[in-house]
Amino acid sequence: MGSVVVEQLRKDFSGVTVLQNIDLDIKEGEFFALLGPSGCGKTTTMRCIAGFESPTSGTIKIGNKDVAKLAPNERNCGMVFQSYALFPHMNVFDNVAYSLNIKELRKANLFKKIGVYTRMLNSKIVKYPKEIEKKVMDILEYVELTDHAKKLTSELSGGQQQRVALARALVMEPEVLLMDEPLSNLDLKLRHTMRNTIRRIQQDMKITTIFVTHDQEEAMSMADRIAVMKDGEILQIGTPTDLYSNPKTSFIADFVGTSNILPGKVVASENGLTTVKVGNQQIQSVTKTSKEDVQVIIRPENINVLSEGTEDTSNAFEGVIQFATYLGSTVRYDVKVGEHQIVVDTTYESGDSIKKNGSTIKLGVSPERVLII
């Protein structure tokens, strides 16, 4: 297991820069997510680490070792591909044993080499040695696939194929485990189960893991730390809570969870409170800023619905409900305030009534929950 350090990574594809200024410091045993919309460069970053792309400039160290001169097959990074990339002509056991065969191939003499090659082409002709057999069966047991060892991968369900891919990467005891959108081909329910499985295995084995995803929920629920990427650059690195409560840009605020992002002008700054004018409304925040044109960010769940007759606090405003969506434990209101459209989440307890479309609503938010960027 090792740490992964990336410094000033840059990648050009025929003159077009697709990655720049990528700095990552991933600690041993950490579960690290690269999060961003498609085309942001997250997969390219991972492929640079795996060695499938060679960086235009910058260094990559795996376990304190510069890997620039190492071919992809010498890097010992287990990779789980988006499509799983299981070998369709081999059964589950042979798939998982592949890297162990390769290891044997490396130290074998010519005669033994032919034996190993034959086994890789047809494992019925040349049998596996005991150690390999045990290692493979152990890892298959771990991912609960012991009964499927002799099946062809095409006979397995999506979730099972995913676990074969995981087992195949884990059995080589990689320095770092790379996962490229591993859950995107699974249905919603299976995705939740697999999240837990992957997290459990990662923590059990304490294996450094880099996980590429475009799904913020997936990243938030699984990763220790997340790097948010956009247009080939890293915008922010932090823990999930960090990113959620202190997004550095409005893009992150919007991408990580839902946010109300409103443009405004700073009109006053006193007593540790910044006052911003948004439309006809004034909103106060504890965030300090030196800028004049700013963006005000408020999470939907931080907006409170005030009952009629509550005294006007400083951060209270009125709006008209456009649309109400019942989501089980919460109700989401789309509210029109002045010329702006905002989203408000309220907890729903049985017995509560849902407000009608078109009715007026009084809202408030505490200055601690208002973020200014």
Partner 1 sequence: MNRLKQNFTGIGLVKLLIYGFFLLFLIIPLVSVFLVSFTNEPINVFGSLVSWEQMQISIDQFKNATIDNFKSIFSYGSYFKGLINSLKLSLIVSLWVLVICIPIAYGIARTKMPFKKTISALCTIPLVIPTFISAYAFIIMFGRAGWVTYIYEKLGGEGMLLDPYSMTGIAIVQIFFFFPYALWPMVAAFKISDVSLEEASRNMGSKGWLTFITVTFPLAIPGMLSTALVIFAVSFSDFGTPIILAPSDLNLIVVDAYREIAGFFNWGGAAILTVIMIAVAGVVYWLQNYLLKGKNYDTLSGKPKKIKLSENKALTIPLAIFSGFVVLIPILAMGTVFLQSIATTWGKDPLPSGYTLEHYRTIFTSSLGNIQNSLILAAGALILSVIIATFVSYFVVRQRSTTLDFMTTVPLIVPGIAFGIALIQTFNTAPLQLTGTAFILVIAYSIRRLPYMVRSTVGTMKAIKQDIEEAAVNLGATTLTAAITVIGPLMLPGIAAGSILVFVTVIKETSISILMAPAEWAPMSLAIFQNVMRAEYYSAAAMSVILVVMVLVLQALANKLSGGNKS
User: Which residues contribute to the site for partner 1 (CB under 8 A)?
Assistant: 50, 52, 54, 68-69, 71-74, 76-79, 81-83, 85-89, 98-99, 102-103, 105-106, 117, 120-121, 168-169, 172
Q: In angstroms, give the least distance from the CB of 73 to partner 1.
A: 5
Q: Which CB sits closer to partner 1, 121 or 354?
A: 121
* 97-102: long-range pairs with CB below 8 Å, 24+: 97/123, 97/128, 97/132, 97/136, 97/171, 98/168, 99/168, 99/171, 99/172, 100/132, 100/135, 100/136, 100/171, 100/172, 101/132, 102/73
Q: In angstroms, give the least distance from the CB of 211 to partner 1.
A: 16
Sheet holding 316-326, edge to edge: 304-306, 360-364, 316-326, 330-337, 340-347
How crowded is residue 326: how many other Cβ atoms within 10 Å of its Cβ?
10
Dist CA 270 CA 314 (whole Å): 14
Q: Which CB sits closer to partner 1, 106 or 200?
A: 106
Q: Which CB sits closer to partner 1, 186 or 253?
A: 186
Q: Which CB sits closer to partner 1, 13 or 87?
A: 87
For residue 11, the cross-strand partners are 19
The torsion of the CA quartet 173, 174, 175, 181, rounded to 10 degrees, works out to -130
Q: What is the DSSP string of 247-271?
A: -SSHHHHHHSS--EEEEEEEEEEET
Q: 71 and 135 in contact (C-beta within 8 Å)?
A: no
Q: Which two tokens stand for residue 233?
A: 């650059």
Q: In angstroms, give the least distance from the CB of 91 to partner 1.
A: 13
Q: In angstroms, give the least distance from the CB of 72 to partner 1.
A: 5
Radius of gyration of the chain (CA): 26
Q: 304 and 367 in contact (C-beta within 8 Å)?
A: no
Q: Which CB sits closer to partner 1, 106 or 291?
A: 106
Q: Which two tokens stand for residue 161?
A: 């194929």
Residues 6+ apart with CB under 8 A from 241: none
Q: Which CB sits closer to partner 1, 115 or 364?
A: 115
Q: Which CB sits closer to partner 1, 42 or 340?
A: 42
Q: In angstroms, give the least distance from the CB of 48 to partner 1.
A: 12
**Which residue stretches of 208-367 are H helix?**
216-222, 240-245, 250-255
User: Hey, is 191 helix, strand or coil?
Assistant: helix
Q: Which CB sits closer to partner 1, 112 or 288?
A: 112
- CA angle, 32 then 95 then 130, to 5°: 105
Q: Which CB sits closer to partner 1, 83 or 322?
A: 83
Q: In angstroms, give the least distance from the CB of 276 to partner 1.
A: 49
Q: In angstroms, give the least distance from the CB of 288 to partner 1.
A: 48
Q: In angstroms, give the least distance from the CB of 77 to partner 1.
A: 7
Q: In angstroms, give the least distance from the CB of 287 to partner 1.
A: 45
Q: Which CB sits closer to partner 1, 51 or 319?
A: 51
Q: In angstroms, give the least distance from the CB of 230 to partner 1.
A: 25
Dist CA 5 CA 23 (whole Å): 8
